[in-house]
Homo-oligomer: A and B are copies of this chain.
Amino acid sequence: MTGDWERFRGMFWFDAGLGVSLDVSRLGWSPAELDAFAGPLSRAFAAMEELEAGAVANPDEGRRVGHYWLRDPDRAPTPEIAREIRETLEAVEGFAGRVLRGEIATEAGPPFARVLHCGIGGSALGPQFLSRALAPVHPPLAVDFLDNTDPDGTGRLLERIGADLPRTLVVVVSKSGGTPETRNAAEAVRAALRARGLTLPPRAVAVTGAGSALDRRAREEGWLARFPMWDYVGGRTSVCSAVGAVPALLQGIPFRELLAGARAMDALTRVPDPQRNPAALLAAAWHFATNGKGERDMVVLPYRDRLELFSRYLQQLVMESLGKERDLAGNVVHQGITVYGNKGSTDQHAYVQQLRDGVPNFFVTFLEVLDDGPHPRTEVEPGITAGDYLHGFLYGTRQALAEAGRPSLVLTLPDLSARSVGALLALFERAVGLYAVLVNVNAYHQPGVEAGKRAAAGILGLKARLLDVLAGAEPLTVEEAAAAAGADPELAFPCLRHLAANHPEVTVEGDPADPFGLRYRRK
């Protein structure tokens, strides 16, 4: 028992300025095993210093990696970059302020009443997380997100917005300016506006790379505003750029406090001493827990409703950054760490059964928030509040897992302010960067995503060819249509089914119980 307490004290990291602490003592490692990371981490600190100084840290794409400059422009490698970061933030603040004061308003005069944010992946998850974590209960403008190309989901959201659509500010976010899901979402919004005799440009904002297709269109059509995304900021680390700032400021989230928290955490995570650097402690913990090969999943359990999207945000940050086929030397390594989780104590009723008793294929990151929040405290038993229960469940679950030999960490925030959330985001960004050096992968590209995009484009092309061959005189079976279109029948089969279900000009004949005997035709 005393040994545990000594180990706890010895491994405990704490910063009085931010009020953040990290306990890695229950990971099943000894102080000596942690010390063994000193050498590898010193190389990681050096690599991170070069990255922050403007080295091309993403060699495949020939790009610098500058998300740390967003909260401390003085550290940018050139005065031009520092200036564009500062000026963009000021421009977003100015724009949001004018919208909130009604100085920028709808063409008919009334101020904007809500926001529709179109974006996917790195262009949505950060803003969604901030909205759930930090937006006031009654924000000046509520934000909805269109983060997919599902016509059912899009149609339902537009139906829900309904008569508010004319007073909805539409923010379209795509770094490349060519993301199909986001383009499709914006087109659906255009169509809904057209049906009301309205157009998109007088209510549209673009956040995109300068000169992209989206940027050009926004300029040509005269959208309300355009804000830049830069080559040196990846989508999954863009929350401190205009991507995060536009929706956050429109919701009344104090964005500069978020940046200040991130900046303070950046300073703490630059300390080149593993024991005094919480990002280094996390990176070492991940490496120890997963054997440096992703052998365990990272379960993320924040005990706070407002943090329930944090695991989805981390899922992207960690898995897209670390999930790589090759290391920087070109060796096939199949790296990565799987991340999942929702929130405590709710998840205790879903899968803590398996965590405690089942496959030991994970380590848990508990997220504790000390301040129970500003709402009236209800005693549910003499002297005991609902918050005491939440806290008891966190440490009770941790204890039950420890008894079963299941490793865990506890990260503690003092409160759920914008400052603390900024520190949280910066801590994990840095931990991912350091871990990537430990396992020698490029954390800043995503080459595997291209294969799926190419294959999807191939399927859209196949559908177009199928529509052509179905226009002949005779209805065709799957095999006949595939042969005529020069396609694999295994792919033609789902395409024909989807066409028949949704394209009214495609009809199908035959016995539904014999799916391979059906014949398709285009009227």
Contacts and interface: CB of A to CB of B under 8 A. Distances in A.
Nearest to A459: B392
Interface stretch (A54-62, A211-219, A382-390, A418-426): A382-390
A348 B513 contact: no
A149 to B, nearest CB: 5
B184 A389 contact: yes
A521 interface: no
B373 A121 contact: no
A150 interface: yes
A354 B319 contact: yes
Interface string A349-375: 111111111111110000011111111
11 contacts: A5-B490, A16-B512, A151-B385, A155-B374, A155-B375, A191-B376, A334-B358, A356-B449, A357-B447, A400-B448, A403-B451
A271 to B, nearest CB: 15
Given A149-B389, A151-B386, A336-B358, 11 more contacts: A25-B490, A121-B350, A150-B304, A153-B306, A155-B376, A184-B386, A297-B361, A319-B350, A356-B452, A396-B456, A399-B452
A335 to B, nearest CB: 6
A514 to B, nearest CB: 9
Residue of A5, A392, A457 contacting most chain B CB atoms (<10 Å): A392
Contact of A137 (B9, B156, B335): B156
A131 interface: no
Interface string A485-518: 0001111011101100110000000011101100
A375 B159 contact: yes
Interface string A400-438: 110110000010101010000000000000000000000
List 4 tightest A-B contacts by C-beta distance, closest first. A323-B354, A121-B349, A155-B375, A153-B305
B5 A149 contact: no
A494 B368 contact: yes
A350 B318 CA distance: 9
Main secondary structure of the interface of A (DSSP, over half): helix
Contact of A389 (B4, B337, B359, B460): B460
A387 B155 CA distance: 11
A345 B516 contact: no
Contact of A350 (B304, B320, B355, B495): B320
A324 B121 CA distance: 35
A374 B156 CA distance: 10
Contact of A373 (B1, B155, B449): B155
Contact of A160 (B137, B306, B342, B355): B137
A395 B456 CA distance: 7
Contact of A464 (B160, B323, B384): B384
A325 interface: yes
B336 A359 contact: yes
B320 A16 contact: no
A342 B502 contact: no
Contacts of A124: 346
Contacts of A277: none
A358 B334 CA distance: 4
A335 B358 contact: yes
A453 interface: yes
A159 B137 contact: yes
A316 B498 contact: no
Contacts of A399: 452, 455, 458-459, 491
Nearest to A25: B490
A446 interface: yes
A21 interface: yes
Contact of A151 (B373, B489, B490): B373
Contacts of A459: 391-392, 395-396, 399
A315 B151 contact: no
A279 to B, nearest CB: 20
B346 A121 contact: yes
A231 interface: no
Given A396-B455, A396-B458, A324 B377 contact: no
